[in-house]
Amino acid sequence: MTLTRDEAAMWAWAAGRAVAAGDVPASGAEAAAWTVRGWAEIALGCALLGPAAFDGLDTVVLATGVRHGGPAAGRLRALRARCGPVPRGYPDAADPGPVAAPGEETREACRRLAAWCAVIPDGHGRSRPVRDHLRWGERHRPNATRDVTVVDGSRFAGLAWRTWMRLPGQRGLITVLVDGTHRAPEPRRRVWRGVHDGAHLDHLAACGDDIEFGRGLLAAETYAMAVELVALAETPDPVVRRVLKHGVLERIGRIADHPELGGLPTLAAVYVTGALRLLGGEAEGVPEELREPLRARWVRATTGATRHRPSPVPAR
């Protein structure tokens, strides 16, 4: 199935998603930066669809009046420029302002997760490349979907962050993975695509399209990171273990020191706190058919195993 060529459908998709991107559980500078980050990801979809989609995005962006969006505004403006001059009134990349530092619960969750990672041995060795990263990643995803359309996004390399989304197709919304936008060594791309992005696609298939932007993104990242933690606890592959462990520690580091997510503490923290709460039994926004099989695997992988420790769920 291909993407729609219907201009009304493009406009409606972009405008609707742009409004949803502004529904964030934050205020002030954090809300502005989070909204603009969502618009940048919508702009990638618009670039795939066509000019009519950008018309829908423009309508919401210009009506909202956000002036400064931080680093994500650079991606937003660069993608918008692919379809003509950027309209006056689009946010610029200036710092939208200060945000509050992460709270003690978040810091404690980071300490516990880092300590758990520290007892997992570093992986060494070599692995053979795989052709289909999503199919490879199914071993780590309890409810893997295959109802995915992969589209070439290589012309947008360097302009994309998130590359999973629902876009209007010829007969309704379709689940899309945009390929070729990031360059990294094969083991890292395999884990990123097959485990993390694959988990997003599974969650999207189970929930529909209301978890892509704004506050819905918290549940999406909660589930994807929980899948990564279970994969790290389970995998005997030393190369995969090394990549997963590095990824978890990088997420911890994002919370206080990251060019873009450092200004989004609510979103950055959920990669840690949300995943740990889900594995500990709390699962707001994650359907039971995804939640329970994943938690069962977590319990098996972290109970009685010599190289793993009990669940790093923060004390409550």
Query: How far is 45 from 36, CA to CA, in rounded Å?
Result: 14
Minimal CA–CA distance to 234: which of 145, 119, 120, 118?
A: 120
290 vs 126, residue with greater confidence: 290
Read off φ and ψ for residue 165, nearest 5 degrees.
Answer: -170, 170
Q: What is the pLDDT of residues 79-102, one digit of tens each?
A: 999 999 999 999 999 999 999 988
What does the pLDDT look like over 192-242, one tens digit per residue? 999 999 999 999 999 976 789 999 999 999 999 999 999 999 999 999 999
Question: Is the pLDDT confidence value at 309 over 50?
Answer: no
- Residue 306: is its pLDDT beyond 80? no
* pLDDT band at residue 284 using 50, 70 and 90 as cut-offs: confident
Q: What are the domain boundaries of the chain?
A: 7-81, 104-302
Lowest mean pLDDT among 57-61, 246-250, 271-275, 311-315: 311-315
Provide the whole-model pTM. 0.93
Mean pLDDT of 153-175: 94
* C-alpha distances out from residue 75 to 20, 87, 140, Å: 19, 15, 31
Q: Give one DSSP letter per residue of 23-49, joined into a string.
A: --S--HHHHHHHHHHHHHHHHHHHHHH
The residue to which tokens 């990242």 are assigned: 221
Structure confidence at residue 209 (pLDDT) = 66
Cα(111)–Cα(188) distance, rounded to whole angstroms?
24
